């Protein structure tokens, strides 16, 4: 049967299981929007394409499915760029569809023409420029397959306007033919055996749990492996939630703002089992002194991540869940009592400095607020963040026991991610409670999406941690630039009035005793709410490994006098 | 040192750009890059010579990153394999009739050819390894080289030997098997 290119696109998209699309129409994608009306697709009209990209990203992270976002040509597409880069850095499967000027106009600087495939080449897993309708079915099929398989990531399809309106015979491609793209599942047997030998010898092993555990749905395999070998589990920022925080083997977050005992354990370990993580500079500190006594087993689906930052003694390239399932029967049981005792000693030493021990002085500290939200929600909400101090505090104090509830921009560190990602996550499961924790800076980058939340009735609770500073930059200026504050004082609008102007109920909290009631109030309302917390202005995130320092050279919170 | 890679890629628009962009993004310095068709119209072949200051570690990075490109089918490192490598140069020399014989003599020694003769210039075509071409250029330089063009190196392993494929987990799919491969379900 003959169909237009736009119809063919939706035929294929619907077959991929897409139900919700975040986007913005314009001249070059109008045929796509016209055809959309005939398909069972819920379209969310965003206020800025960046917001749409983050929504699709948040949807994908929370649902485990492929997200989808659209924009028109030119500025519509370039506005997506930050969101595409965010998804790329965190390996999130999102398919982006942009309109493009008609094929015969390409290269002529036509109205709203931008070389989108050129711009997005380094920030997509793959991208396509489609100039003919008969290419669309195959391309859409491939795009979704590439986005979700192997190491997931964003794929962009740039469709020329003529290809959207031209008609051709629609044949759904049953298979995908990609000779150069074949992700591997199993690691070779001899490598597994080599790994088992290292595990046998280890006295002080540690597991580094990354985002790959979630991507591969290997949470259960990880628990089985950790319990069988009694190996403590440290988590990267994006790996949080993959291993239950309340588990006795859980060490919490590693790295620049990781737990002291966790970083100490890494530096003193004799075997690192890196599971689906990529030794980012934020988790290693300086590589020169990183885990100097440890052999490294690196389980990773992307061969280019092996040996990239840290040389692996045994690389196991494959799907994490498959590799762990192959590995578990081969390893023996261990207890590692002494090693766990040593880690616990470091932990109790560090805990004594914790801000959570501070007695109530009536002021608002973000860590306390995060713990309050955690208590109120039973630790079960989906939590998104922006980037900066509040992000690190949320990572530290919103202790997650379940996967796919922690949505944060890790690799790219994208401000403005929190609110739109929360809206996207709500679409993944509308029965879930969703909290967006944001700073005063990041919130203002995508605040316009509040109206999107209202239009969609998205039940998203925004908590703005307002310290009237760009907090993390201020902290660095305090620590490393002799407190010469440069461009970090931030005037914000009246957030309560701003929210109310969008039609969002809002409150301001300035005193400790108002906190619990405000959180309960927000939770009692169906639909978006905003709470602005006026928090301590010059608090710092501890512990902190200064950039370029060794992982165990942490600045710790001064004991309170 | 310089490493030589052979990459088989899908013959599609934009693939050269993807490969070149990858080398730029990952901060590798291309010494030479030659692209052309193969016996299979669906496949193009690239010979890439890259400076690898960290030796095999860099070579691993290059191979693994090339495989990240969806259109790259196979990558081999032929640096240390017995192989035939060739570069082609066209060299225009400013000489009148009185010195043509001298150029001709040099060309014979290098098994080069004079492919164009004008009133006050000749074009020499030479094929061979980099060393051989460099050697000839040095000898021609005093005569007055006015223009030169080189294709960049192409390479092929001798006999049945393959190059090294050092990326773990990637089997090194030969393109003859193209039709058997990648019949992947959803």
Of how many residues is chain B composed?
186
Q: How far apart are CA A194 and CA A189, in angstroms?
A: 9
State yes or no: is A49 an active-site residue: yes
Query: Which residues of chain B lie closer than 8 angstroms to A191, CB-CB?
Result: 168
**Alpha-carbon gap, residue A53 to A202, rounded angstroms:** 44
Same domain flag for B31 and B74: yes
User: How many domains is chain B built from?
Assistant: 2
- Cβ within 8 Å of B, A 94-133: 117-118, 121-122, 125-126, 129
Is B105 inside a domain boundary? yes
In angstroms, the CA A137 to CA A42 distance is: 21
Q: Do B61 and A308 lie within an 8 Å CB cutoff?
A: yes
What integer pLDDT is reported at residue B53 of this predicted model?
Answer: 94
Parts of chain A with a pLDDT under 70: 560-561
Query: Could you tell me the CATH number of the domain that includes residue B87?
Result: 3.30.70.1150
- Residue B56 lies inside a defined structural domain of this protein: yes
**Residue B51 sits in the same domain as residue B8:** yes
DSSP B156: E
Q: Is A112 a catalytic residue?
A: yes
pTM: 0.95
C-alpha distance from B21 to closest chain A C-alpha (Å) = 8
Structure confidence at residue B185 (pLDDT): 32
Disruptive mutation site among A130, A180, A181 for chain B (greatest number of B CBs within 10 Å): A180
- For residue A472, indicate whether it is catalytic: yes
Pairing relation of β-strands B2-10 and B43-51?
A: antiparallel
DSSP symbols for A180-202: T-----SPPHHHHHHHHHHHHH-
Q: Residue B60 is nearest to which of A117, A121, A307, comparing CB atoms?
A: A307
Q: Provide the number of CB pairs (under 8 Å) joining chain A to chain B.
A: 86
pLDDT band, residue B168 (cuts 50/70/90): low
User: Is residue B67, in this structure, part of any structural domain at all?
Assistant: yes
Residue B183, pLDDT above cutoff 80: no
Provide the pLDDT for residue A560: 67
* Facing residue for A126 by CB, picked from B9, B67, B70: B70
Q: Is the same domain home to B19 and B76?
A: yes
B19 and B71 belong to one structural domain? yes
Instruction: Write down the pLDDT at residue B175.
Output: 36
| Containing structural domain, residue B120 | 83-150
Burial of A106 (0-12, 13-18, 19+ CB in 10 A): middle
Q: Give A140→chain B minimum CA distance, Å.
A: 12
CATH of the domain at B67: 3.30.70.260
* Extended beta strands in A94-202, E state: 94-100, 126-130, 155-160, 167-169
Q: How far is B4 from chain A (nearest CA, A)?
A: 19
Any domain includes B170: yes
From residue A207, alpha-carbon distances to A325, A361, A415, B166 in Å are: 16, 39, 30, 26
Count Cβ atoms below 10 Å from residue B146 Cβ, excluding itself: 11
What would the two tokens of residue A543 be? 């512990």
Strand bridging mode A67-71 / A94-100: parallel
Cis before A447? omega within 30: no
Confidence of residue B173 (pLDDT cuts 50, 70, 90): very low
- Is the residue at B62 inside a domain? yes
* Same domain? B95 vs B74: no
Evaluate whether residue B156 is within a structural domain. no
Residue B121 and residue B73 share a domain: no
Whether A161 is a known active-site residue: answer yes
Beta bridge partners of B184: A176
Q: Are residues B65 and B109 in the same domain?
A: no
Catalytic entry in A7, A11, A49, A433: A49
Residue labelled with tokens 């934020």: A282
Q: In the sheet where B43-51 sits, what is the strand order?
A: B29-37, B43-51, B2-10, B72-77
Nearest to A241 by CA among A226, A224, A259, A253: A253
User: In this structure, how many other beta carbons lie within 10 angstroms of the beta carbon of residue A426?
Assistant: 27
Domain assignment of residue B155, yes or no: no
B77 and B166 in a single domain? The answer is yes
Q: Are residues B138 and B168 located together in one domain of the fold?
A: no
Q: Which of the residues A161, A295, A461, A534 is marked catalytic?
A: A161
Indicate which of A17, A118, A179, A317 best probes the interface with B, i.e. most B CBs within 10 Å of its own CB.
Answer: A179
Query: Do B142 and B168 reside in the same domain of the chain?
Result: no
Q: B172 falls in which pLDDT band (50, 70, 90)?
A: very low
At CA B145, angle to CA B141 and CA B150, rounded to 5? Answer: 100
B49 and B72 part of one domain: yes
Residue A144 tokens read as 């979704």
Residue A351's pLDDT is what? Answer: 85
Residue at B185 is within a domain: no
**Averaged over B113-126, what is the pLDDT?**
96
CB of A43 within 8 Å of any CB in chain B? no
Tell me the shortest Cα–Cα distance from B158 to chain A, in angstroms. 25
* B58 shares its domain with B18: yes
Residues written for chain A: 561
Domains and CATH numbers, chain A: 2-169 (3.40.50.970), 189-349 (3.40.50.1220), 355-534 (3.40.50.970)
Q: In terms of C-beta density within 10 A (0-12 exposed, 13-18 middle, 19 or more buried), how is residue A363 classed?
A: middle
Give yes or no for residue B178 having a pLDDT over 80.
no
A356 is catalytic: no
pLDDT value of residue A225: 98
């Amino acid at each position: 049967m003959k169909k237009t290119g736009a119809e063919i696109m939706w035929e294929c998209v619907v077959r991929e299981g897409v139900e919700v699309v975040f986007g913005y129409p314009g001249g070059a994608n109008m045929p796509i929007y016209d055809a959309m009306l005939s398909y069972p697709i819920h379209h969310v009209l965003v206020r800025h394409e960046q917001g749409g990209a983050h929504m699709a990203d948040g949807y994908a992270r929370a649902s485990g499915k492929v997200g989808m976002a659209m924009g028109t040509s030119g500025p519509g597409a370039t506005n997506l760029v930050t969101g595409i880069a965010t998804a790329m850095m965190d390996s999130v499967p999102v398919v982006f569809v942009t309109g493009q000027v008609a094929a015969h106009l390409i290269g002529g600087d036509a109205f709203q023409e931008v070389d989108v495939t050129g711009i997005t080449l380094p920030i997509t897993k793959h991208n396509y420029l489609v100039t003919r309708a008969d290419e669309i079915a195959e391309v859409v099929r491939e795009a979704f397959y590439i986005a979700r398989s192997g190491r997931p990531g964003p794929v962009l399809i740039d469709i020329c306007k003529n290809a959207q309106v031209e008609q051709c015979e629609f044949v759904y491609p049953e298979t995908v033919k990609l000779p150069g793209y074949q992700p591997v599942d199993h690691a070779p047997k001899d490598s597994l055996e080599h790994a088992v030998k290292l595990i046998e010898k280890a006295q002080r092993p540690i597991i580094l749990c990354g985002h790959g555990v979630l991507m591969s749905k290997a949470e259960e395999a990880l628990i089985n492996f950790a319990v069988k070998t009694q190996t403590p589990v440290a988590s990267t920022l994006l790996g949080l939630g993959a291993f239950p925080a309340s588990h006795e083997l859980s060490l919490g977050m590693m790295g620049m703002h990781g737990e002291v005992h966790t970083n100490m354990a890494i530096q003193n370990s004799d075997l690192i089992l890196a599971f689906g993580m990529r030794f980012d500079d934020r988790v290693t500190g300086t590589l020169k002194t990183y885990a100097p006594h440890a052999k490294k087993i690196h389980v990773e689906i992307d061969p280019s991540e092996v040996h990239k930052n840290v040389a692996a003694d045994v690389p196991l390239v494959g799907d994490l869940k498959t590799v762990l399932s192959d590995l578990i029967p081969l390893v023996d049981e261990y207890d590692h009592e002494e090693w766990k005792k040593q880690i616990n000693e470091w932990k109790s030493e560090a805990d004594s400095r914790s801000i959570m021990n501070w007695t109530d002085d009536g002021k608002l500290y973000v860590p306390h607020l995060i713990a309050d939200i955690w208590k109120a929600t039973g630790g079960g909400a989906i939590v998104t963040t922006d980037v900066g101090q509040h992000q690190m505090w949320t990572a530290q104090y919103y202790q997650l026991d379940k996967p796919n509830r922690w949505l944060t921009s890790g690799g790219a560190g994208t401000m403005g991610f929190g609110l739109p990602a929360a809206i996207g996550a709500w679409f993944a499961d509308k029965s879930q409670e969703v909290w967006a924790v944001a700073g005063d800076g990041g919130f203002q980058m995508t605040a316009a999406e509040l109206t999107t939340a209202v239009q969609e009735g998205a039940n998203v609770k925004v908590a703005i941690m307002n310290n009237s500073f760009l907090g993390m930059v201020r902290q660095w200026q305090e620590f490393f630039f002799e407190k010469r504050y440069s461009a970090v004082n931030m005037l914000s609008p009246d957030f309560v009035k701003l929210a109310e102007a969008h039609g969002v109920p809002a409150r301001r909290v300035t005193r400790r005793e108002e906190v619990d009631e405000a959180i309960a109030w927000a939770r009692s309302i169906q639909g978006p709410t905003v709470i602005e917390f006026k928090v301590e202005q010059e608090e710092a995130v501890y512990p902190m490994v200064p950039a370029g320092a060794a992982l165990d050279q942490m600045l710790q919170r001064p004991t309170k006098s | 040192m310089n490493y030589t890679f052979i990459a088989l890629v899908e013959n599609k628009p934009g693939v050269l750009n993807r490969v070149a962009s990858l080398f730029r993004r990952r901060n590798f310095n291309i010494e030479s890059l030659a692209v052309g068709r193969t016996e299979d119209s669906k496949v193009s072949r690239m010979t890439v010579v890259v400076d690898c200051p960290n030796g095999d570690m860099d070579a691993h990075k290059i191979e693994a990153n090339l495989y990240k490109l969806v259109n790259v089918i196979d990558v081999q490192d032929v640096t240390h394999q017995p192989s035939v490598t060739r570069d082609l140069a066209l060299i225009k020399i400013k000489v009148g009739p009185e010195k043509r014989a001298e150029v001709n003599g040099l060309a014979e020694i290098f098994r080069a050819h004079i492919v164009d003769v004008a009133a006050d210039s000749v074009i020499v075509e030479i094929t061979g390894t980099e060393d051989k071409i460099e050697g000839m250029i040095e000898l021609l330089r005093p005569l007055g080289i006015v223009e030169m063009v080189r294709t960049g190196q192409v390479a092929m392993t001798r006999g049945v030997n393959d190059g090294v494929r050092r990326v773990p987990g990637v089997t090194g799919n030969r393109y003859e098997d193209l039709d058997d491969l990648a019949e992947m379900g959803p």
